[in-house]
Structure 1
Amino acid sequence: MVLKQILKIVLFTSSVCLCVATSVTATEVNKQVQAKSVISVLLNNRTIKEIPRLSEVERKTTSAQQLVQSPASQTVPVPEIVQVTAVKANPTSKGLEVILQTNKGQQLQLLNRSSGNSFITDIPNAQLRLPSGDAFTFRSDKPIVGVTQITVTNFDAQTIRVTVTGETLVPVVELFDSPDEGVIFSVASTTPRAQQQPQTTQQPQIQQPEAQTQPSQPSASGDEPIELVVTGEQDGYRVTDGSTATKTDTPLRDIPASIQVIPRQVIEDQGATSIREVVRNVSGVNFSTASGNRSEDFNVRGFTATQFRNGFREDFYSTRTQTDLANIERIEVLKGPASVLFGQADPAGIINFVTKQPLLNPYYNVSFTAGNYSFYRPTIDFSGSLTADKKLAYRLNAAYESAGSFRDFVDTERFIIAPTLAWQISPDTKLTAEVSYIHDSRPIDRGLVVLSNNRVADIPISRLLGAAGDGDFAETRTTLYLDHRFSSNLSLRSAFRYTSSSEEQRKNNVATFAGPLEDDRFLSIGDARGAQHFETYTFQNDLTAKFNTGSIQHTVLFGLEFARQFDSYSYIGRDAGTINIFNPDYNFTFGAFDPLPNQGKDQVTSFGVYLQDQITLLDNLKLVLGGRFDTYNDDSASNGQPTETDADAFSPRVGIVYQPIPEISLYASYTRSFTPVSGRSLSGDSFDPQRGTGYEVGVKGELANGRLSSTLAFYDITLSNILTTDPANPDFSIQVGEQRSRGIDFDIAGEILPGWKIIASYAYTDAKITEDNTFAVGNRLNNVPYNTASLWTTYSLQNGSLKGLGIGGGVFFVDARAGDLDNSFEVSSYARVDAALYYTADKFRAAINFKNLFDTTYYEGVQNRFQVYPGAPFTVQGTISWQF
C-alpha cells in the first residue's frame, strides 16, 4: 500500500516536472546557443575582452576604454557556482599578486568598478570554501606601499567580492587567468598623491601586464623594504546564505524573515556537546524540556519549535533521543510560522540541522574531548574522493561518548556513525546517500519538584528522585538525494528518507511521578517497563525554475511531500511507593505489575503541495509569495479503542524586502502555520487544526564593511483553536483557546577586527493567554522569559611568536519564567558565564572550555511542578584535534 501511494506521487511529480522542463528548457536552448564559456571582465556593466593567459600576454599598453566591446549580440550564460578553495598572496617586483585558487578559473565572471579609493571586483558565480566546506575570508592590511587593505570575501550566496583599497588613489590592478592556479590579481605599489600626476578619472585601471610565470622577489620602495602581512582565516561566525527559509540558496539579506545560522566554528569554539548549548546563541530561543532526559525541546518566540534535519521533520516518530552534533555542519533557526514550505509546524518557527557533506579534497580530522563528571568523547571526521576523476566522494563521521553527570546515578553512553556517499553521475546529475545510526543508553530523569510554597525544593541539584533505569534508544536514518539540472535555470531535487527508531525500558524505570507531593516531603512514584517502535517514510520533490517576465526576475519553487509514519507501543506499570526528597531511600517497595499491558498503535499519513515565487521587481526590491495545501490523517488505537483524526489546511506567505542601500534590507511579512489536533469533540467531529498567524517587520544590516551581519525584528504571533475543557462535559474539549506572543529580537554575528569574532543576541518576549476558559486570560505562557540575552566573543593572535593563541568568553542571560499556565510558580532568572582558551598551530588545535565559570545554580528548563531541570555546575572540558 505504501509503495502504491509513493508510485502515484512519483508519476504525478514526473508529469509536472516534464511539462515545466519542456517549457523552460526550450527557452534555455535558444539562450545557450549564444553562450560563451570564458572569463568575462565587465566594466560599468559592459563586456570587455577575455583576460589573456600568461602565455598569451602581449607587451603593449591598452587602456580599459579601448577594450570595451558592444554586448548587443551576446548573452551571458548562467554558470555553475565555482568553488574557490584558497586565497594566496605573493610578493612581486611591482607589488604583490593575490591568487584565487580554483581549477575552473575560465568559468568565472568578473565585474569591476571603483568606489572612492577602492578597486572592487564582484565574481557573481563563485564562493569561497575551504576544503572542509566552511566559508572563509581573506584580508591583508597595509600589504604594500599605497594600499591600505585587500579583502576577498563572500558577498552573498553566489558572489565573491575582491576589494583593493588605496591610500589616496584607486590602485592599479592587473588581471590574469592562470590555468594552473586560477585568477590572479596583480596589485602595484603606488607613491603618495603628492608625487602623482593629476588624475582626471577614478575608473579602475586595468592594464595588460608584463609576461611572467613565476612571482619575483619583493623589491624596495626607496630604501625601505616592503612589509607583507597577510591573514587568511575562516570567517566562522558570519553566514551570508541559507536554504531553510526558501528551500533555495538565497542570501539571508534577501529573505523577508528572521533567520539565524550557527556555523560549525561557533560550535567548536564554545565546546558545545548538546543542541541546547548551540541554539542559546539565537535571540528568543530557550531550552524548554528534556522529556525525562530523552530529548531536547525548545521555545522560540514563546511557542514550541519544530525540529528538522535537512528539511525533514524530526518529531516524535523519527527521533527518541538527543540530537548528536558529530555530523552537524550548522544549525539554521527560522523564526515565525513556517508551514508554507514545511507543513505542520508550531508558529514559533523551525530549527533545521544541516548535516556535513562529502568533500572532493582529502580531509581527515581526529579529536578527543575529556572533562569532569567522567566525560570522554573521541570523534573522527574523514572525507575525500574515492575515484581519480573525483566523481565519487565520501564523508564519514563517528563519535563515541561515555559520560557521568552532576546528577546522581545518571550515566550515559552513546555511539554514532554517519557515512555519506556522493556520486556525480554527470555534470548535471548527482546522487547522494546519507546514513546515520545512533545507539544511546541513559536513564529517565525528570529533575526536581516544586513545593507548596511555590518554590523549587531546597535540595541538592544532584539528587535523582527515582532510580537509574536502563533505557536503550536506537535510531537509524537513511536518506537518498537526487539532484538534476535540466539547464542552468531549471533543476529538480528528489529526496526519500526512511527512519527507524525505538525506545526500550527494561528495568527499574522508577521515574514516573504517580501522585502528589505529600507534606512537601514524600513524592509518589511508579515504575514502568515496555518498548516503543517507530518508522517513517518521507518523499519530497522540489522543482526550481528561474525565468524573466520582461525586466522582472522569478525563482519559482514547486514542491510535493508525502509522508507516512507508524508507531506501536506496549508497556506495563506498577507502584513504587514514595521517596523522601530530603532524605531519600533508594530501596523501593514495589507493588504488583498491572495485569494487562497498555498497548497501542498509530498510523499518520500526510500529503502537501506547495508553490513559491521569489520575485525581483528591482535590484533593491524583492517579493516572496507562497502557499501550501496539506492533508492529514491519523488512524490510532489505544487498548483496542480506535480514534481517527482528519485535517486539511492552507498556509500562505507574503513577504517583501526593500534595500535602500546595499548594506541595509528592510522587510515585512505575513505567514501562517497549522498543527493537527488529535481526538474528537463531544459531537464526534474532528478538531480543526491549530492555526498560527504571524506578522513581522525588521531590518537587516551589513556593518563594518560587511564583516558583521545583524537582524532586528518586531513580531506579533497568534495561536488559535487551542483545546480547552468543555464546560458542558469536562471529559471533552472545545477549541476556544488563544495565545499571543509579541516581541523584539536582535542578532549580530561576524568579525569586528581580524581575529576578533562575536555572536550576540537579545530578545524581549511577551507571550500570554488571550482567550481561555480554564486558565486566566493574561497569564504568561510557561517557560517563556521576558528577556534573554547572549554574548560570545573570541580573539586569536594573528602574528608573532604566539600566533594561534586565542581566548573566548561569554555570558548567557535568561529572565524569570512562569512554571505552568496557571502561573502558580516561577523559576528565577540566571546569568551563566563561560570562557575558553585556544591554541592552533598548523593542523593541530587544543582548547579548554570553562562552562558556568562562577558555579551559578540555575534551572534551564521547566515543564510543570514535577519536572524542573537544573543546569550543570562549573564544568571543565579539554579538546585536542589533528587535521591531516
Structure 2
Amino acid sequence: MTNKSQQVVLMVSTLFLLGIAPGLAQTQAQKFDLANIPSIREIKLPLTSAEMLVQSPTSEVVQVTQVQANPTDKGVDIILQTLLGQQLQLVNRSAGNSFIVDVPNAQLRLPSGEAFTFRSDKPIAGVTEITVTNFDAKTIRVSVTGEKSIPTVELYDSANEGIIFSVASTAPRGQQVQPQTQQPPSQTQPSQPSAQGDQPIELVVTGEQDSYNASNATTATRTDTPLRDIPQSIQVVPQQVLKDQQTFRLTDALRNVSGVQSGSSFGGTRDVFSIRGFGGVIFKDGFRQNGDRTIINETANLERIEVLKGPASVLFGTVEPGGIINLVTKQPLLEPFYSVELQAGSFGLVRPSIDFSGPLNNDRTLLYRLNAVDERGGNFRDFDQGVYRFFVSPVVTWKISDRTDLTFEFSYLDDTRPFDITGIPPIGRKIADIPYSRVVDEPDNISFRNELSASYRLEHRFSENWTLRNAFRFSSSDQRFIGARYSTLDETTGNLSRSWSDNKGTNQSYSLQTNLIGKFATGSVKHTLLFGVDLNRDINDLHNYFAFGGAPGINIFNPVYRVTPRPRREDLPFNVTFNNSLDYLGIYLQDQVALADNLKLLVGGRFDIVDQGSSFTNSAGANTNTQVQANAFTPRIGIVYQPVPPLSLYASYSQSFAPNTATTVSGSILEPERGTQYEVGIRGEFFNSRLSANLAAYDITKTNVATTDPNNTDYSIAVGEQGSQGIELDVAGEILPGWNIIANYGYTDAKVTKDNSPLQGNRFEDVPYNGASLWTTYQIQRGDLQGLGFGLGLFYVGEREGDLENTYELSSYLRTDASIFYKRNNWRAGINFKNIFDVNYIEGTYSRQQITPGAPFAVLGTFSIEF
C-alpha cells in the first residue's frame, strides 16, 4: 500500500440574505455537502502562507451557512465558501500550539437562522482539533491545534469558492494517516474521499441550541452583546439544559444559577424567586411579566432564560436590587421545522407538546412559529384536584423589506391546580414530622388562573449602524383561589385552626418600549449608543372574602377532612376589596464604549416618574386611599479589561429604586427605596470558547426601608437598611466532545442591617448562606453506542431561616437527579430520575403559614421527534 499524508483545508460558505433576490438565495442555500469539493491543488493564486490576509472589510455581517471538508493527498481541504470572500478581513495569530484566525463581520448560521459550530477531532496526523465557531456577535473564529507545534497553514482565495485554509499534515513521509471519525448529526453528511484522498474526514456540526455555553445576551444592555464584554454578572440557562434535565418549571431551571432561590409560591400558583437575597422580578422578552402578580410561567416556548444579577433599574425601572429574570421566547425560523414531544411520569403526569415553525410563503417574507402544550397530573400532594394546564403561543414575523421586520406574538394559558397555601407547618424551630404528601388545608382547595397576552415588535434598520425598535405588550390575567387556610397552630397537640377564603383578582398590564441604537466612532473610540423610552401601566383588582376562624379545625397528625361543607363565596362574612394602579415613565441613555480592543466601558443612566395609587375597602365600610408619586435617577457604570482575549476582568457600580407606600406622621410619602451594588468579577472562556466561567463578588445595600415610627406606631420612618454580600461562581459549556456541564456555587450573607425593631441583625427568610449545583451529561460520540447519553445532577441548598423574624429554620438538603437518553437521527428518547434518594426538603417559604414542600422521588419518560 502506498503511504500518503493528508492535509486540512477550511472553506467558509456564506450567504448574505439581506438584499439578495429570492432566486439567488435559493440557488445558494445548499445543504452541508462534504462530497465532491475541489481539491486544494485545483485552487489558483495562493495569497499568503501563515501570514495575515487582509481584504476590504464588508459593511454588513455575512451569514455563513456552510462549512465543508475534503481530504487530499497532503491533508484535508476545508473551505469557507462565499461569494463575498474578497470582502472579508482575516486576522491570524498563534496561542500555544494553536493557529487562530478571526473573521470579522461574519457569523455561522444555518439556513433556519440558528447558529452552529463546526468541529473535527484528530482529523490528520499532527492536528488534534479543528473548530469553527462564533466567537462573538460579529466574528467567526477558526482554530487549528497541533499536537506538538503550531500547524503549517496556507491561505487561498478563490473567486468561485471563497476563502480556503490549507493545513498540512505532520505525518512522517511514508506513514499512513489514519484520521479519527465522528458521526455528525442529521443536518450534516459525512465527507467522502476525494480523488487524492483515501480516508474520509467525518465532522461534528452542532447548533448553538445544543450548547450549554451561551456567548451573547440581550438582557444586560438591551443590545446583542457578548457576555465577555458585560461588566455585570449575567447567567444564561440555554434550551438544551432544559431538554436534558426535562425541566418545564422555572423552579427547576433556575437551580442552575448561583444566588437564585425559589420562595413562597402562594400555594404553588406563582413563580417567586430571590436573587442575591432580594426579590427577583420576572420579565418576558424585556417586558415585566403580569406586573407584580406573576403566574407559573410556561417554558414550552422559551429559547433560553437570562438572569441579570444586581440592580437593573437603569433599563427596567422599578425593581429590587437583587436582579431580574428575563424569559426569551422562541422566534420563527426560515426553514420548516416540526417537533412533537410526549412526557409522562410519576403522579399521573402526561404532557404532550408541539413546536412548529417555517415560512408561510415562497419568498419567506412571512414566517411563523407555534408552540402548544397540554399538561395533566403531576402533583404529589393528597389533593382531590390534579393539575390541568393548557398553553398555546403563535408567533408571526413579516419581513416587510430588507430593512424592516414586524413580529406579532400571542399566548394563552389556562391553569387549574390545587391551592396548596399552607403546605407543611413548623413546630418550634423545625418543620413538623408528618408525611410531605399530607394536606392540612382541605383536599378540595383549588385555584383557577388564565392569562392572555398580545404583543408586537417592530424593527427598522436605517443603515448598518442605526436601528429603531418599537414594541408593545398587553397582558390580562384572572385568578381565583378557594381554600381553607392556616390560622393558628397548637404546637403541643397539633390542632390547627383554619379560615375559609375565596379570593378573586384581575390584572391588566400595558407596556410600550421604544429604543434607538446607534453605532459610531469618535476617532479610535467605538460607541454603541442606546436611547430608550418606556411607558407602563399596571392595574390590579383584588376581591377577597374570608371567614376568620370559620372553618373546622384539623389535627395535622391525624387529619379528618370535610367535617362541614364549604360555604359559598357570597356567604362568607368578611370581604376586602383592594385596587392598585402603577404608572411610570422611564427615559434612559446608555453608551457601550470600546476604548480599545481589550478595554470597554459601559455608562448609563435612567430617569423615572412613578405614580402609584391604591384603595382599600372592607366590609365594615372603612376606606383608605393612597397616592404615591416618586421621581428617581438611577446610574450604572462598569469597565471591562481583557488582558488576553479569553479573559475578562470587570468592575461595576449600579443602583436600583422602588417607590415606598408608607407615610410619615406628617402625611408625606417616604422617599423611594434605593439599592446600591458594587461588583467585581472575572470571566474566562476555555477550550476555544466552548466553556465559560464567571467568578463574582458583590456588596448590595438597600436603604430607605420603611420601619415603624417609635413615636407613633401608626406611621413609618425610612431608616431601615438591608444588606447582602456574597461570592458566586458559575461554569457552563463543553469540557470534551459530548461532555457538557453547568455548575454553580453561591455564598450569600443577606440580613437586616438597620432597624428600630428586633429584626435588626436577622437573616432574610429562605436565603441560605451556601448553595451549589452540578449538572453534567455525556453522550457517546462514535461506535455502536453512538447517541447514548447519561446525565447526573446534584443540587445543594444550605440551612435557611423560615421567616424574617427567624423563628424557625429549614434544614439543608442535597437532591440527586440522573438521566439516560438516546439520540438517533431526528428522534430522542430518555428517562429522567428526580430526587433519587427521596429526600424531604422545602422548596420555599414566606412565614410560618406558607411553606412549600419539595417533590419526592419521581420518574419522567420522554420521547420526541423532529422532522
TM-score range, shorter chain: 0.7 to 0.9
- For residue 71 of structure 2, the aligned residue among 59, 66, 91 is 91
**How far apart, CA to CA, are the structure 1 residues paired with 2:422 and 2:85?**
58
**Which one is further off, 565-574 or 320-329?**
565-574
Q: Which residue of 2 aligns with 1:406?
A: 380
- For residue 596 of structure 2, the aligned residue among 618, 633, 645 is 618
Q: Which residue of 2 aligns with 1:499?
A: 475
Counterpart check, 1:643 vs 2:626: yes
User: Alpha-carbon deviations, 1:307-327, whole Å to 9, x = none?
Assistant: 11111111445x542001010
Change over 3 Å in CA distance of 1:178–1:792 after alignment to 2: farther
- Runs of 5+ unmatched residues, structure 1: 1-52, 197-213
TM-superposed deviation, 1:100: 5.1
**How far apart, CA to CA, are the structure 1 residues paired with 2:319 and 2:601?**
23
**How far apart, CA to CA, are the structure 2 residues paired with 1:427 and 1:109?**
24
**How far apart, CA to CA, are the structure 2 residues paired with 1:722 and 1:439?**
37
Q: Verify the 8 A CA contact 1:362 1:385 in the aligned structure 2.
A: yes
- For residue 546 of structure 1, the aligned residue among 519, 522, 527 is 519
Counterpart check, 1:577 vs 2:558: no
Q: Which residue of 1 aligns with 2:139?
A: 159
Q: Verify the 8 A CA contact 1:116 1:170 in the aligned structure 2.
A: no
**How far apart, CA to CA, are the structure 2 residues paired with 1:149 and 1:376?**
43
- Runs of 5+ unmatched residues, structure 2: 1-36, 176-189, 618-622
SS of residue in 2 equivalent to 1:272: coil
TM-superposed deviation, 1:457: 1.0
Q: Which residue of 1 aligns with 2:105?
A: 125
SS of residue in 2 equivalent to 1:283: coil
**How far apart, CA to CA, are the structure 2 residues paired with 1:586 and 1:100?**
71
Change over 3 Å in CA distance of 1:695–1:795 after alignment to 2: same
TM-superposed deviation, 1:127: 2.9
TM-score, normalised by the number of residues in structure 2: 0.88
SS of residue in 2 equivalent to 1:289: coil
**How far apart, CA to CA, are the structure 2 residues paired with 1:871 and 1:303?**
22
- For residue 279 of structure 2, the aligned residue among 298, 301, 304 is 304
Q: Which amino acid in the other structure matches residue 509 of structure 2?
A: T
Counterpart check, 1:371 vs 2:371: no
- For residue 333 of structure 1, the aligned residue among 296, 304, 307 is 307
Q: Verify the 8 A CA contact 1:283 1:762 in the aligned structure 2.
A: yes
Mapping for residues 219-298 of structure 1, pairs under 5 Å: 226=199, 228-234=201-207, 235-298=210-273
Change over 3 Å in CA distance of 1:511–1:125 after alignment to 2: farther
Change over 3 Å in CA distance of 1:86–1:262 after alignment to 2: farther
**How far apart, CA to CA, are the structure 1 residues paired with 2:448 and 2:279?**
26
- For residue 362 of structure 1, the aligned residue among 336, 350, 361 is 336
Counterpart check, 1:793 vs 2:776: yes
TM-superposed deviation, 1:121: 2.5
Q: Which residue of 1 aligns with 2:487?
A: 514
TM-superposed deviation, 1:620: 0.8
TM-superposed deviation, 1:471: 2.1
Counterpart check, 1:141 vs 2:121: yes
SS of residue in 2 equivalent to 1:744: strand
TM-superposed deviation, 1:595: 4.5
**How far apart, CA to CA, are the structure 1 residues paired with 2:106 and 2:119?**
18
TM-superposed deviation, 1:571: 3.2
TM-superposed deviation, 1:734: 2.1
Q: Which amino acid in the other structure matches residue 612 of structure 1?
A: Q
- For residue 357 of structure 2, the aligned residue among 383, 388, 400 is 383
**How far apart, CA to CA, are the structure 1 residues paired with 2:560 and 2:258?**
42
Kindly tell me the number of residue pairs found equivalent between the two proteins. Answer: 803
Q: CA RMSD in A?
A: 2.8
SS of residue in 2 equivalent to 1:266: helix
SS of residue in 2 equivalent to 1:277: helix
TM-superposed deviation, 1:680: 2.5
**How far apart, CA to CA, are the structure 1 residues paired with 2:205 and 2:44?**
34
Q: Which amino acid in the other structure matches residue 490 of structure 1?
A: W
Mapping for residues 392-403 of structure 1, pairs under 5 Å: 392-403=366-377
Q: Which residue of 1 aligns with 2:316?
A: 342
Change over 3 Å in CA distance of 1:62–1:825 after alignment to 2: closer
**How far apart, CA to CA, are the structure 1 residues paired with 2:611 and 2:803?**
31
Counterpart check, 1:78 vs 2:59: yes
TM-superposed deviation, 1:773: 1.5
TM-superposed deviation, 1:117: 5.0
Q: Which residue of 1 aligns with 2:48?
A: 64
TM-superposed deviation, 1:836: 0.4
Q: Which residue of 2 aligns with 1:50?
A: none
SS of residue in 2 equivalent to 1:294: coil
Change over 3 Å in CA distance of 1:731–1:130 after alignment to 2: farther
**Aligned residues: percent identity?**
49
**How far apart, CA to CA, are the structure 1 residues paired with 2:402 and 2:200?**
44
Q: Verify the 8 A CA contact 1:545 1:556 in the aligned structure 2.
A: yes
Change over 3 Å in CA distance of 1:92–1:395 after alignment to 2: farther
**How far apart, CA to CA, are the structure 1 residues paired with 2:704 and 2:117?**
48
TM-superposed deviation, 1:591: 7.1
Q: Which residue of 1 aligns with 2:400?
A: 425
Change over 3 Å in CA distance of 1:160–1:522 after alignment to 2: same
Counterpart check, 1:657 vs 2:640: yes
- For residue 703 of structure 2, the aligned residue among 720, 728, 739 is 720
Q: Verify the 8 A CA contact 1:320 1:473 in the aligned structure 2.
A: no
Q: Which amino acid in the other structure matches residue 242 of structure 2?
A: I
Q: Verify the 8 A CA contact 2:291 2:509 in the aligned structure 1.
A: no
Q: Which amino acid in the other structure matches residue 799 of structure 1?
A: R
Mapping for residues 841-856 of structure 1, pairs under 5 Å: 841-856=824-839
Q: Which amino acid in the other structure matches residue 625 of structure 1?
A: V
**How far apart, CA to CA, are the structure 1 residues paired with 2:50 and 2:326?**
52
Change over 3 Å in CA distance of 1:554–1:597 after alignment to 2: same
Q: Verify the 8 A CA contact 1:373 1:404 in the aligned structure 2.
A: yes
Q: Verify the 8 A CA contact 2:69 2:191 in the aligned structure 1.
A: no
TM-superposed deviation, 1:781: 1.0
Q: Which residue of 1 aligns with 2:860?
A: 877
Counterpart check, 1:694 vs 2:670: no
Q: Verify the 8 A CA contact 2:58 2:105 in the aligned structure 1.
A: no
TM-superposed deviation, 1:281: 0.6
TM-superposed deviation, 1:667: 0.5
Q: Which amino acid in the other structure matches residue 571 of structure 1?
A: N
User: Alpha-carbon deviations, 1:107-165, whole Å to 9, x = none?
Assistant: 75443445565443222223334566654322111212443321111212222111123
SS of residue in 2 equivalent to 1:405: coil
**How far apart, CA to CA, are the structure 2 residues paired with 1:627 and 1:656?**
15
**How far apart, CA to CA, are the structure 2 residues paired with 1:149 and 1:548?**
38
TM-superposed deviation, 1:496: 0.5
Counterpart check, 1:527 vs 2:500: yes
**Which one is further off, 561-570 or 94-103?**
94-103
- For residue 862 of structure 1, the aligned residue among 845, 848, 862 is 845
Q: Verify the 8 A CA contact 2:344 2:351 in the aligned structure 1.
A: yes
**How far apart, CA to CA, are the structure 1 residues paired with 2:127 and 2:50?**
26
Q: Verify the 8 A CA contact 1:340 1:653 in the aligned structure 2.
A: yes
User: Alpha-carbon deviations, 1:435-478, whole Å to 9, x = none?
Assistant: 11101011211243444422111111001121223321110111
- For residue 353 of structure 1, the aligned residue among 327, 339, 342 is 327
Q: Verify the 8 A CA contact 1:843 1:883 in the aligned structure 2.
A: yes
SS of residue in 2 equivalent to 1:305: strand
TM-superposed deviation, 1:104: 7.5
Q: Which residue of 2 aligns with 1:27?
A: none
TM-superposed deviation, 1:67: 11
User: Alpha-carbon deviations, 1:679-715, whole Å to 9, x = none?
Assistant: 4232211122111100000111112332210100010
Q: Which amino acid in the other structure matches residue 868 of structure 1?
A: I
User: Alpha-carbon deviations, 1:190-223, whole Å to 9, x = none?
Assistant: 3447999xxxxxxxxxxxxxxxxx99734678xx
TM-superposed deviation, 1:580: 1.3
**How far apart, CA to CA, are the structure 2 residues paired with 1:89 and 1:61?**
20
Q: Which residue of 1 aligns with 2:586?
A: 608
Q: Which amino acid in the other structure matches residue 779 of structure 2?
A: S
**Which one is further off, 678-687 or 58-67?**
58-67
Q: Verify the 8 A CA contact 1:794 1:807 in the aligned structure 2.
A: yes
Q: Verify the 8 A CA contact 1:320 1:503 in the aligned structure 2.
A: no
Change over 3 Å in CA distance of 1:60–1:613 after alignment to 2: closer
Change over 3 Å in CA distance of 1:469–1:132 after alignment to 2: farther
TM-superposed deviation, 1:533: 1.5
